[in-house]
Amino acid sequence: MNAFYSEKNTPLTQLKSELFTQLNIQIWIKREDLNHPTVQGNKWHKLKGNLEMALQQNRTSLLTFGGAYSNHIAACAAAAKFAGLNSLGFIRGEELQHTPEKWSHTLKKAAQNGMQLHFISRMQYRRKTQAEFLQRLQLDYPNAYILPEGGSNALAIQGFKGLMAQLESQCPNWTHLYTPVGTGGTLAGLVTYAKRQENRQIFGIPVLKQGEHLLPQIKNWIVNDRPNKWQLLTQYHGGGYAKLSKELQQFMNDFEQQQQILLDPVYTAKMIYGVYDQLKKQQIPSGSKVILLHTGGLQGRSTE
Ligand SMILES: *Cc1c(COP(=O)(O)O)cnc(C)c1O
């Protein structure tokens, strides 16, 4: 087994603050931002099984979809390079085709890692989940292993088994577990593999508007007949995907200073902001042991 496929045991660190002491609540953060140098956080878990499958099926490339700031795109490019596969990214926004000077760090880095970028219009991009479109694409690229936007599928969900096992041994009596939500694949993985206990709840915080639309898909992904209670807290999207208000920016700066842990503005900052709000509104009972999942995503902060 080489370094990509073996799971790293990351630290579970306790956060300190007067607020937590006053409320008599322990807050821990699971540092999945430290799990891999180039395929960070939840994306490592989601890609691992898919890469193994692609290799097993003798595919020669990884093909996927994303926006210009997608951590999934960055992770796929890095992971494909690692596995010796070519990579192909269908990127939303045809105007970027001829303006490489406007590419985000994410796109530049993906290109450096060998990803071939195909820029498509927003209208074309919307077809990315249609069966007919995907069948055509598979015919055009017969040796490609196709992954959906965000990389969530059944194999991705299975990638959270080891992570949950780590958490259960690091903090067996946790009561609350929080994760940010894009597609909800990560949340479904946690809910699937968490040990059932009456006093436990798992919360997903969608970073885009109308997160409740994700519920049917998430339910479908959960492979556990009697899971712990879980729910989406849909009020913390902060104006929509990748929108960063002054207040959230300030919160993120303060948190990073106090805890010496970097966050990303799209996912983990919103999630932790939401948890602090829940704490202030006394939605979490005294004596709780809360785990925040740091899902990584720090590549997006880079500005080089
Ligand atoms: C992609 C991403 C998410 C969202 O994961 P889903 O499984 O799509 O819900 C959360 N956090 C970070 C840092 C991400 O890059």
- How far does residue 175's CA lie from ligand 1's centre (Å)? 22
Q: Please report the pLDDT score of residue 303 as a whole number.
A: 62
> In what order do the strands lie in the sheet containing 144-146?
115-120, 86-92, 61-66, 144-146
**Could you give the CA distance from residue 149 to residue 163 in angstroms, rounded to a whole number?**
22
3-state secondary structure at position 20 = helix
- Sequence length of the chain is 304
DSSP state of 288: -
Q: Is 152 in the pocket of ligand 1 (CB under 6 A)?
A: yes
Instruction: Kindly report the number of other CB atoms within 10 A of residue 206's CB atom.
Output: 27
- Token digits for 214? 């994700």
pLDDT at 1: 44
Give the number of other Cβ atoms within 10 Å of residue 258's Cβ. 11
- State the distance from the centre of ligand 1 to the C-alpha of 70, rounded, in angstroms: 9
Nearest CA to ligand 1 atom 3: 182
**Nearest alpha-carbon partner for 34 in 291, 270, 261, 274:** 261
- Give the closest residue (by CA) to ligand 1 atom 13: 297
Could you read off the pLDDT tens digit of each residue along the chain, which spans 304 residues? 455 678 999 999 999 999 999 999 999 999 999 999 889 999 999 999 999 999 999 999 999 999 999 999 999 999 999 999 999 999 999 999 999 999 999 999 999 999 999 999 999 999 999 999 999 999 999 999 999 999 999 999 999 999 999 999 999 999 999 999 999 999 999 999 999 999 999 999 999 999 999 999 999 999 999 999 999 999 999 999 999 999 999 999 999 999 999 999 999 999 999 999 999 999 999 999 999 999 999 998 876 5
Core vs surface per residue 52-65: b (16+ CB within 10 A) or e: eebeeeebebbbbb
Which atom in ligand 1 lies closest to the alpha carbon of residue 298?
13
Query: What is the model's pLDDT at position 5?
Result: 76
Q: Is the CB of 42 under 6 A from ligand 1?
A: yes
**Rounded Cα–Cα distance for residues 229 and 209 (Å):** 23
Q: How many other CB atoms sit within 10 Å of the CB of residue 150?
A: 21
The CA distance from 32 to 186, in Å, is 12
Query: What amino acid occupies position 152?
Result: S
- In sequence order, the β-bridge partners of residue 15 are 27
pTM of the model: 0.97
Distance 160 CA to ligand 1 centre (A): 13
186 lines ligand 1 (CB under 6 A): yes
Q: Residues near 147 by Cβ (< 8 Å), separated by ≥ 6?
A: 50, 62, 63, 64, 76, 153
Ligand 1 atom nearest residue 188's Cα: 7
Angle in degrees, 0-180, between the axes of helices 42-56 and 185-193, rounded to the nearest 10:
90
Distance of alpha carbon 151 from alpha carbon 154, whole angstroms:
10
For ligand 1, atom 14, which residue shows the shortest CA distance? Answer: 297
CB 203 within 8 Å of CB 230? yes
Instruction: Compute, in angstroms, the gap from residue 59 CA to the centroid of ligand 1.
Output: 25
- Residue 300: CB within 6 Å of ligand 1? no
Collapsed DSSP state (helix, strand, coil) of residue 69: coil
**How far does residue 22's CA lie from ligand 1's centre (Å)?**
31
Q: Residue 187 Cα, ligand 1 centroid: separation in angstroms?
A: 9
